Structure formats: structure tokens, C-alpha cells
Amino acid sequence: MNMKYLNRLAGFISVVLLWCSCSEGQDRPDALPDLQTMAGQMVMVGFNGFEISDTSHVTRDITQYHAGGVILFDYHVPGSSPNRNIDSPPQLRKLIADLQGLSEIPLFIAVDQEGGRVARLKPARGFPEHRSAEYLGGLNNPDSTRHYASDMAGTLSDLGFNVNFAPVVDINLNPENPVIGKIGRSFSDSPEVVVQQASIFLEEFNSEGVLGVLKHFPGHGSAWNDSHLGMADVTDTWRESELEPYAGLTDSNLDFAVMTAHVFNSRLDPDWPATLSEEIQTGILRERFGYDGVLFSDDMQMEAIRSFYGLRESIARAVQAGVDVVVFANNSVYDPDVVPKVIDIIVSLVEEGTLTEERIAESYNRIMNQKRELGLIE
């Protein structure tokens, strides 16, 4: 029996077992909760503020709508302001603790701390300096990489983060790529070096209870344009080697999640960008490589998605593609009501038959299993 059918069988069995436990009346969270709660766990949201209050939409998002995760930033792009969520280590530690205190189900608390140019925790605000992937890959010294990876993992864990959207495993096929190669986010143009470097980061993250997230599947390294600003078509530049880090790391015993890429690649799917493609996210990542961990979308408010697809269509396609957590960072555009909108859409998609409740339960199960692996719940 091939991996494709084994994965499908395992997913079916897990959902059946969850439904059985629910019908036997077991206490939550082991039994399936209501559909709205499961949908809430599938949403990660960003907000503006150094602290939370009763009137903050993130308080409502967590307590009323059961949002499963929060992503924090140091810069508020919609307001062109350096005042967002991260001001100092003591302030940030308290903010994360307060956010966790709101939720019945412990939250994924995420950040983009790659090192180098993409570092939300900056030395100017009292955080350690973390080197870029390009710098570490250029050295290609495992001891140096482990030193910086260990420091990063310890810093994140001490502050209360349990998800880091790193390491980047994009292959540096285009050094002039404006959002990868040109700003030092790729370890190397060699898949072997990328896997070696990323493995060290994942090992250190695992040891500190931080979930590392590989990005951007199935590869953003060859692009010539920025998916923050519009659709990046990599059809003519993408190479099969860009899949090697995912294949290699899935075969390891390391714990990690994956983030999708907002790129269009007609060689892999002639109709849909990767985040919305079942052919790519399920057909390649889950069935071909056997990956069954949590799959995060890249920010669904980026222009590559928002300018081409409506909210309802993009959510339907992403979830059907295999995405478990849809990320709405509120840092391209700001919508304080995006969480209730998204949850209402997911629920209505199930009610009309576009999505099945079993599909939602599948993602909920992956999310809860990952939170157990991180020690957030028993």
C-alpha cells in the first residue's frame, strides 16, 4: 500500500476516533467541540497594541471566538509606526502571558524571528542580535549555527513564544529575489547546506519547546517579484530541487510545521497559487512526502491573495488544499473583525457542503496534537 493511501487511511481513522469519543460523552478537549470552536482554532490573528484590554478585538477573538493563535510584530505597517506589539523583553513577556491567560485552549504565540533583516526582536529594544541565514550558510560551520540557533531558541522560549516562522528553507536560486536572496533570508543555493543548517535550528527549537516552521512551500527562492505586493509567478524559474529540504526534513525525526508560499507555478498547478492548491499542499506535501503536521498559510492579507481572490473563496480553497491554520496578520491591511468573519465563513462553508465537518476536524486534530507535543496541553 503506497503512502498516499496510508495517509488518507490514517486521517480517516483519526477523525472516526474523534467522533466516537465525542459520541461517548467524554469531556472536552478530548471530545470534538462544536464547529465554531474547531474553526476558531484554525485562525491566527495579529493586532495592534503593547498590551491587551477588555475593548481590544484580540480579547474578543480569543475569549468569544476561540482563535487558536496570535502573531506579534515590532512594526505596524498600516500605520507606518514602530509601535505595534514588541517594545522590550519585560513588556513582551507580560503581553504573551496575558494573552495566554485569556484562552481556555493554550494559544500558538508566533513571531517571525529569522535573524538578520527579518527579526522582530531587535537589539535596539533589548533583545540579542541574531545572524541572518545567509551569514550562517556562508560560514557553513555547524558550531556557529548551533550557537546562534540555541540563543534564538532560548530567547523565544523565555519570552513565551511557542511558534517561530523560521527557518527559511527556500533555495537561493535568484540572489536578486527582492524578498529572499537580496535580503539574506536563504542559507544557500545548495539544498544540502539548507537542510543541514535548518536541521540545527529545528533541533534547538525542539529542545526549547518552540515549533519551527519551514517556509515557503513549495519554494519562493527563484521568484523575481514580491508576493506581498502581487502574485509571484515562478513557473519559468522554479526548480525541482526546491522540494528537497521538505523531503529531507520530513524523513528526519524533527518536529516542525510548514508554511505555504503565495506563488503561482503552472508546472505544479495550472489554476491556483500554491496556498490555494490541493495539488501542491495535499498532493505533494502530504501524499508524496508523507507530511502530516500542521500547515500554516502565509499571511492571507498579502496582495498575492487579497487582490486576486475574495475572502470566502480564498478560505475555502486554502482549507480544501490542506491548510490547517489560516494566518491573518493584520499588518498589510487592518481588519479588527477578520476573526469573526473567517469563522463565520468556515462554518457556512460546512453548512452548505463546500467543506465537510470531517475536514475541519482533521485540522483541529492536527492543531491539538501539535499543542500536546509542545506541552501546552495534556
93-125 b/e with 16+ CB inside 10 Å = b? eebbeebbebbebbbbbbbbbbbbebbbbbeee
- Residue 301 located in a structural domain: yes
Domain that holds residue 284: 33-373
Q: What is the pLDDT of residues 223-275, one digit of tens each?
A: 875 445 456 899 999 999 999 999 999 999 999 999 999 999 999 999 999 99
- Residue 107 located in a structural domain: yes
- Residue 267 located in a structural domain: yes
Question: Of 25-39, 107-121, 153-167, 192-206, which range is least confident?
Answer: 25-39
- The confidence score (pLDDT) of residue 58 equals 98
The single residue of 98, 189, 226, 228 carrying the catalytic annotation is 228
d(CA 222, CA 238): 6
SS3 content of the chain, % helix, strand, coil (to 5): 45, 10, 45
- Residue 25 located in a structural domain: no
State the CB neighbour count (10 A cutoff) for residue 6. Answer: 12
- Residue 3 located in a structural domain: no
The single residue of 61, 74, 170, 298 carrying the catalytic annotation is 298
Number of domains in the chain: 1
- Residue 378 located in a structural domain: no
Residue 282: CATH number of its domain: 3.20.20.300
- Residue 8 located in a structural domain: no
Q: Is 220 a catalytic residue?
A: no
Q: What is the pLDDT of residues 78-117, one digit of tens each?
A: 999 999 999 999 999 999 999 999 999 999 999 999 999 9
Question: Which single residue is written with the C-alpha cell 499543542?
Answer: 371
Q: Is 298 a catalytic residue?
A: yes
- Residue 251 located in a structural domain: yes
